[in-house]
Amino acid sequence: MSKIEQYTIIAFSENAVGLLNRITIIFTRRHVNIESLTVSESSLHGIHKFTIVVNTTQDMVQKITKQIEKQVEVLKAYYFTKDEIIFQEIALYKVSTEALLKSNMIETIVRESNARIIEITAEYTVIEKTGHEFETSKLFAELNKHGYVKQFTRSGRIAVTRSNAELLTEFLNARQQEQIELSRN
Amino acid sequence: MSETRKITGSEAVILSLIEEGTEVIFGYPGGAIMPVYDALYGFADRIKHVLTRHEQGAIHAAEGYARATGKVGVVMATSGPGATNLITGIADAMIDSTPIVAITGQVGAALLGTDAFQETDVVGISMPVTKWNIQVTRPEDIPGAIAKAFYIARSGRPGPVLIDLTKNAQFGTLDYKYEKCHFIRSYVPKPTPDESKIIEAAKLINSAQKPYVLVGQGVILANAEEEFRAFIEKSGIPFAWTLLGASAMPIDHPLNVGMLGMHGNYAPNIKTNECDVLIAVGMRFDDRVTGDLNRYAKQAKVIHLEIDPAEVDKNVKTTVAVLGDVKETLPLLTRLVEKRDHSQWRKEFDECYEIEKQKVIQHEMYPSKPGLTMAEVIRRINEQTNGDAIIVTDVGQHQMIASRYFKYTNKRSLITSGGLGTMGFGLPAAMGAKIGKPDKQVICVVGDGGLQMTIQEFGTIMEYNIPVKIVLLNNHFLGMVRQWQQLFFERRYSMTELKNPDFMKVAEGYELNHQKVTERAQLDEAISNMLKSDKAFLLEVVVEKEDNVFPMVPSGASVSDILLEATN
């Protein structure tokens, strides 16, 4: 229970103002650092999805997930270990075009790491790489061996679960049923 | 559902509150809420407003009202300082699960974020201490926000909600139509009971030799006192109560073994670590109840009946969690538990009680020394009221004494700040309780420290002639802090002794009936005078300066290490 591991929390919510703040204070109050956080639409109309990565104990992630789900505008919250989800991150690397043209080194690195070049100007070149953190970090290390990287950024994690549809579907159906019954009474 | 018609946002606020059955608003006007107060002016015959002397007084009064009646307490304040003055009470309501709707004024939407006069981000500030909050910037959103607010505040595990209304929303007009809220897709107030968990719990209970029930405020909030009684009486299991669970069952119930916690009774603490099945009903294993969690009920299988899934496994790991409203889950469980008699086990609690009686209770209740004790004051109130009163306390030694020794007989008869421990809660909460329950004797037990935190509410009591009875147990100290200094800080009494005003003169200034007691012989008559008074009454009892509250589970100790007397 006390072993620290990486967990991904996925929470589904209504699109409500201020909810992000409600969710982040749950972490700050417990001194748990958010490694990454992304918010996007889900496959369900009008429902947003928070994907939050934390390094903590299972006990803590369980408590945090319950506290998130307790928020009025959160529909459901789940937590996963790395093996339970398919996830990806994206990184952008800016190098000087001069360095790119000087030798074929950068080009080789880009090819071998399955990255791609998305913009070239006379001054700079932007390389994009999707993958897990260790992959995008590895590319950074290689590109930066000679100090080529002028700018670098990595996105938060995005993830889908191994379940067929969104995990939320069942919950939504049940809620809809309840609402129908309520309006009948 | 009412017909659609055009009115201002401010009128919509008042009409919506009336639709929700609001009888009384506790509040304080100011610039950014003036349009609502203007609308209120026209509705004086349909809704009462109590003007307190400070916004903190208003929120605590709303809490007292909500706790005494089970209805939603409504409080109103202006933007900026008006709103921030509510925060302590909102936090108090959050941790004690009290249903509150707080309405605050806000600068006009166009001025938001400009550091305008009395602008403060109250939605941001109140976020960690509200169940839900919202800022409304358009008049047409007001009825919907209020409907949602009341639904959220009172359903499931109750709590405070806050609605921040910008001035333009109050001034603007809308087509008014009110629809009550009964459903929010993302919000499940009560988990549906899981039959298999009930069966599992019943099996554990039926096989237990030394089962033990802990009851909390959940039973009171769910209005499930009768369901709890049926469960206890069939299963024959002794039960103890948390501070907020006081009065869920009468003190004289044969299976009632007393109060839990740091200053609770001896047996309930000791026996936690001797029972084999621990059944927690609507309580949250607060640290003041559990002491050191690593040495808490480790031998026992734990069953937790709880409405809030986030409370399960939060502090104490459960063997079986029975989620749901105890009003529904208790009868399901009662059906499956076997009728048992645990009188042998029950007797063990009595043996412990005898020890506590000898070492603590006897000389607290019937002191032989000349100085008055807090407990003997409560004993005499018991004798004269026979437990038929609502006790509202402040925070500190007197709170523990009143909780331990009052003879709770009626439901909802202890109103106290449990989770937050808010000094200054007592007096305004007592006002609110009396307004909510005008036919009940409401007795505010308060210390000299806490009284002075909200003493300005004497003004409210005077203006509205609220006949609360105030028992000031004056030891000229911040007694609980002093006790800790004595026990754990080598009697270094840092900033705990108080030079107090002449409370009788203060009472006189506010036209309260008053009496001061310094001798034991005066006590009975003074209490009788107080209880008979049809006006508010301040009874000051000068008690022993350096008395301590025992038993005590020192902070960080195990419940097994409960002390019956000072060791130094």
Query: What is the pLDDT at residue B566?
Result: 84
Q: What sign does the CA torsion over B170, B175, B178, B184 have?
A: negative
CB contact under 8 A, A14 and B186: yes
Separation between Cα atoms, residue B28 and residue B46, nearest integer Å: 18
CB contact under 8 A, A13 and B132: no
Q: H-helix or E-strand containing B492?
A: none
Q: Could you read off the pLDDT of A80-104 as tens digits, one per residue?
A: 999 999 999 999 999 999 999 998 9
Beta strands in B438-558 (DSSP E): 442-447, 469-474, 513-517, 537-542
CA distance A118 to chain B (A): 39
Interface contact A72, partner B, CB < 8 A: yes
B533 contacts B469 by C-beta, under 8 angstroms: yes
CB contact under 8 A, B186 and A21: no
Which one of the listed residues B453, B480, B530, B552 is annotated catalytic?
Answer: B480
- pLDDT over 80 at B568, yes or no: no
B50 contacts B24 by C-beta, under 8 angstroms: yes
Q: What sign does the CA torsion over B326, B329, B332, B334 have?
A: negative
Q: Take residue A136 and report the two structure tokens written for it.
A: 């995008």
The structural domains of chain B, with segments of one domain joined by +, span 5-176, 195-347, 370-543
List C-alpha distances in Å: B500 to B69, B451, B496.
34, 11, 12
B426 contacts B472 by C-beta, under 8 angstroms: no
Q: What residue type is assigned to position A164 of the chain?
A: N
Taking CA–CA distances from A180, the nearest residue in chain B reads: B183
Query: What is the pLDDT at residue B107?
Result: 98
| B350 CB neighbour count, 10 Å cutoff | 13
The structural domains of chain A, with segments of one domain joined by +, span 5-84
- pLDDT over 70 at B47, yes or no: yes
pLDDT band at residue A146 using 50, 70 and 90 as cut-offs: confident
CA distance B485 to chain A (A): 29
Share of chain B above pLDDT 90, in %: 99
List C-alpha distances in Å: A44 to A48, A168, B56, B77.
8, 9, 44, 40
Q: Could you read off the pLDDT of B104-160 as tens digits, one per residue?
A: 999 999 999 999 999 999 999 999 999 999 999 999 999 999 999 999 999 999 999
Closest by alpha carbon to B508, among B541, B473, B542, B540? B540
Separation between Cα atoms, residue B163 and residue A87, nearest integer Å: 39
CB contact under 8 A, B187 and A72: yes
Query: What is the pLDDT at residue B5?
Result: 79
A22 closest CB neighbour out of B127, B135, B309: B127
- Cα A41 off chain centre by: 13
Chain A residues in contact with B284 (beta carbon < 8 A): none
Separation between Cα atoms, residue B503 and residue B515, nearest integer Å: 10
Answering whether pTM is above 0.90, one says yes
Query: What is the pLDDT at residue A167?
Result: 86
Q: What is the signed CA dihedral for B228, B20, B443, B413, rounded to 10 degrees? A: 0
CA angle B361, B363, B364 (to 5 degrees): 60
Q: What residue type is assigned to position A12 of the chain?
A: F
Q: Note every long-range contact of B316-319, with CB atoms under 8 Å and residues 24 or more positions apart, other chains counting.
A: B316/B280, B316/B285, B316/B290, B319/B204
Query: What is the pLDDT at residue B3?
Result: 61
Q: Could you read off the pLDDT of B484-509 as tens digits, one per residue?
A: 999 999 999 999 999 999 999 999 99
- pLDDT over 90 at A2, yes or no: no
Q: The tokens 């047996």 sit on which residue?
A: B267
Sheet-wide strand order for B537-542: B414-415, B390-393, B442-447, B469-474, B537-542, B513-517
> Hey, is B550 helix, strand or coil?
coil
- pLDDT over 80 at B402, yes or no: yes
Separation between Cα atoms, residue B484 and residue B407, nearest integer Å: 27
**What is the arithmetic mean of pLDDT over B406-413?**
97
Interface contact A1, partner B, CB < 8 A: no
Q: Could you read off the pLDDT of B301-325 as tens digits, one per residue?
A: 999 999 999 999 999 999 999 999 9
- Domain formed by B370-543, architecture: 3-Layer(aba) Sandwich (3.40)
Whether B217 is catalytic is no
Q: Are strands B160-166 and B173-176 parallel, antiparallel or unpaired?
A: unpaired
Q: Could you read off the pLDDT of B414-459 as tens digits, one per residue?
A: 999 999 999 999 999 999 999 999 999 999 999 999 999 999 999 9
- pLDDT over 60 at A1, yes or no: no
User: Taking all residues of chain A, what is their mean pLDDT, rounded to a whole number?
Assistant: 94
- Cα A21 off chain centre by: 17
3-state SS track over B335-401? HHCCCCCCHHHHHHHHHHHHHHHHHHHHHHHCCCCCCCCHHHHHHHHHHHHCCCCEEEECCCHHHHH
Q: Are strands B537-542 and B513-517 parallel, antiparallel or unpaired?
A: parallel
Chain B residues in contact with A14 (beta carbon < 8 A): 185-186
Interface contact B1, partner A, CB < 8 A: no
Decide if B5-176 and B370-543 have a common fold.
Answer: yes
Separation between Cα atoms, residue B398 and residue B394, nearest integer Å: 8
CA distance A10 to chain B (A): 15
Separation between Cα atoms, residue A67 and residue A27, nearest integer Å: 10
Q: Could you read off the pLDDT of B248-261 as tens digits, one per residue?
A: 999 999 999 999 99
Query: What is the pLDDT at residue B326?
Result: 98
Q: Could you read off the pLDDT of B285-307 as tens digits, one per residue?
A: 999 999 999 999 999 999 999 99
Separation between Cα atoms, residue B496 and residue B483, nearest integer Å: 10
Q: Which CATH number fits domain A5-84: 2.60.40.1530, 1.10.10.10, 3.90.1150.10, 3.30.70.260?
A: 3.30.70.260
User: Taking all residues of chain B, what is their mean pLDDT, rounded to a whole number?
Assistant: 97
Q: Could you read off the pLDDT of B150-187 as tens digits, one per residue?
A: 999 999 999 999 999 999 999 999 999 999 999 999 99
Closest by alpha carbon to B364, among B142, B538, B564? B564
Q: Take residue A56 and report the two structure tokens written for it.
A: 């903590």
Query: What is the pLDDT at residue B381?
Result: 98
Whether B117 is catalytic is yes
A9 contacts A64 by C-beta, under 8 angstroms: yes
Say which residues have a Cβ less than 8 Å from residue B133's Cβ, sequence separation at least 6: A18, B123, B126, B127, B161, B162, B163, B164
Q: H-helix or E-strand containing B493?
A: none
CB contact under 8 A, B309 and A70: yes
Q: What is the signed CA dihedral for B73, B76, B79, B82, rounded to 10 degrees? A: -80
CB contacts under 8 A, B 478-537 vs A, are none
Which class is domain B5-176? alpha beta
B186 closest CB neighbour out of A25, A74, A182: A74
pLDDT band at residue A165 using 50, 70 and 90 as cut-offs: confident
Q: Are strands B469-474 and B537-542 parallel, antiparallel or unpaired?
A: parallel
Share of chain A above pLDDT 90, in %: 89
Angle between helices A105-112 and A133-143 (to 10 degrees): 170
Which class is domain B195-347? alpha beta
- pLDDT over 70 at B1, yes or no: no
Taking CA–CA distances from A18, the nearest residue in chain B reads: B124
> Hey, is B258 helix, strand or coil?
strand
Query: What is the pLDDT at residue B2?
Result: 52
Q: What is the signed CA dihedral for A40, A43, A49, A53, rounded to 10 degrees? A: -90
**What is the arithmetic mean of pLDDT over B459-463?**
98
CB contacts under 8 A, A 100-129 vs B, are none
